[in-house]
């Protein structure tokens, strides 16, 4: 390779990290490929699974946009939690399948983040039974939330509403992303051959369709153990 072409090669190799290319990709290439090879928003939360280990310590990451995006709106959301602490703690204790749960305000979103054992629908159903009043006061502050109130009387619709706002979980197995979109080798018969080099584009288009994402199923310090087992083993009296 001559000095001139070597210089050009280095320039092209550095292109992917350049501001110019990032601008071009963000404004032109991503919208173009999202149009050309559509990828649709995925369901939120963990993927359905029948194996015990996949149904323990499942992650929920609700992102709920606040109606009022001022400090006053954020304070109202904080107050909705702070003024119901007894109900929240008693409810979480009674649900009995929650490893941890927390409320976080990030960029004018009320985020409810928890790790729980078992089925998602039953988890939300238990929650509403125990914490319906708190949910109502929080959901009242969230965009598109009014139709869900009172949550105890709209339980199935509310479960779907929550599911839609649980963030999309990117699969642990990276190559599974190839199955979700329409990313195929351009020279092959449709549906026959994948193109591993297009996996990064599959990820980009997924994150274009699902801007909020949980990256994999997450780390567990004591995998394969339920809340009930820990409480029993540690002699905590539940």
Partner 1 sequence: MAKREMAERLVEAVIADFPDHKPGTRPAHTIGIGVTGHFRATKVACDYCVAEHFQGQKVDVTVRFSNSLGSPVKHDGWSDARGMATRFHLGGDKATDLIAMTLREFFSPTPEDFLELSKHARMRPVKAASIWSKIWDLLHLKPPLPDPYEGQTVSGLAGSLNYANHHRSAQLAAFDASYLGAPVSYARASYNAVHTFIVTAPDNTRRYVRFSWQPVAGVEAIKPSLSPEDDYLQPELRDRLEAWPAEFLLLMAVGETGDPLDDPTKAWPLHRARIVMGVLTLVKVPDDQDTYCEKLAFNPGRLTRGIEISNDPVLAARIGAYEVSRQLRGGSACPFSKE
Instruction: Give me the residues that bind partner 1 (CB under 8 A), please.
Output: 1, 5, 8-9, 12-13, 15-16, 21, 25, 29-30, 33, 50-54, 56-57, 172-175, 178, 185, 193-201, 204, 216-220, 223-225
Q: Identify which of residues 87 and 195 has a Cβ nearer to partner 1 in the complex.
A: 195
Q: Identify which of residues 136 and 166 has a Cβ nearer to partner 1 in the complex.
A: 166
- Least Å distance between CB 104 and partner 1? 23
Residue burial 66-104, b: 16+ Cβ < 10 Å; e: rest: bbeeeeebbebbeebbeebeeebeebbeebbbbbebebe
CA distances from 8 to 4, 21, 22, 24, 147 (A): 6, 16, 19, 19, 59
Q: Identify which of residues 1 and 234 has a Cβ nearer to partner 1 in the complex.
A: 1
Q: Identify which of residues 8 and 85 has a Cβ nearer to partner 1 in the complex.
A: 8
CB 56 within 8 A of CB 46: no
- Least Å distance between CB 51 and partner 1? 5
Q: Identify which of residues 28 and 75 has a Cβ nearer to partner 1 in the complex.
A: 28
CB 68 within 8 A of CB 110: no
- Least Å distance between CB 189 and partner 1? 12
- Least Å distance between CB 56 and partner 1? 8
Q: Identify which of residues 96 and 171 has a Cβ nearer to partner 1 in the complex.
A: 171
- Least Å distance between CB 205 and partner 1? 8
In 3D space, the residue among 57, 113, 51, 93 whose CA is nearest the CA of residue 226 turns out to be 57
- Least Å distance between CB 28 and partner 1? 9
In 3D space, the residue among 220, 222, 123 whose CA is nearest the CA of residue 166 turns out to be 123
Give just the sign of the alpha carbon dihedral 81, 86, 92, 94.
negative
In DSSP terms, 65 is beta-bridged to 109
């Amino acid at each position: 390779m001559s000095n001139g072409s070597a210089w050009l090669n280095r320039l092209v190799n550095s292109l992917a990290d350049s501001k110019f290319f990032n601008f071009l990709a963000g404004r032109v290439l991503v919208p173009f490929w999202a149009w050309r090879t559509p990828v649709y928003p995925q369901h939120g939360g963990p993927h359905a699974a029948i194996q015990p280990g996949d149904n323990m310590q499942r992650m929920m990451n609700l992102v709920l946009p606040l109606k009022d995006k001022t400090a006053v709106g954020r304070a109202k959301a904080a107050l909705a939690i702070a003024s119901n602490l007894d109900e929240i703690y008693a409810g979480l204790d009674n649900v009995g399948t929650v490893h941890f749960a927390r409320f976080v305000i990030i960029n004018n979103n009320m985020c409810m983040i928890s790790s729980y054992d078992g089925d998602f629908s039953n988890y939300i159903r238990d929650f509403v039974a125990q914490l319906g009043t708190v949910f109502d006061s929080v959901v009242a502050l969230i965009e598109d939330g009014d139709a869900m109130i009172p949550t105890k009387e709209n339980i199935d619709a509310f479960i779907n509403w929550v599911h839609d706002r649980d963030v999309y979980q990117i699969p642990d197995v990276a190559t599974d992303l190839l199955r979700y979109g329409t990313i195929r080798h351009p020279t092959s018969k449709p549906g026959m051959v994948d193109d591993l080099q297009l996996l990064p584009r599959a990820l980009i288009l997924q994150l274009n369709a699902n801007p909020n994402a949980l990256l994999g199923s997450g780390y567990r310090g004591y995998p394969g153990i339920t809340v009930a087992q820990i409480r029993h083993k540690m002699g905590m009296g539940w």
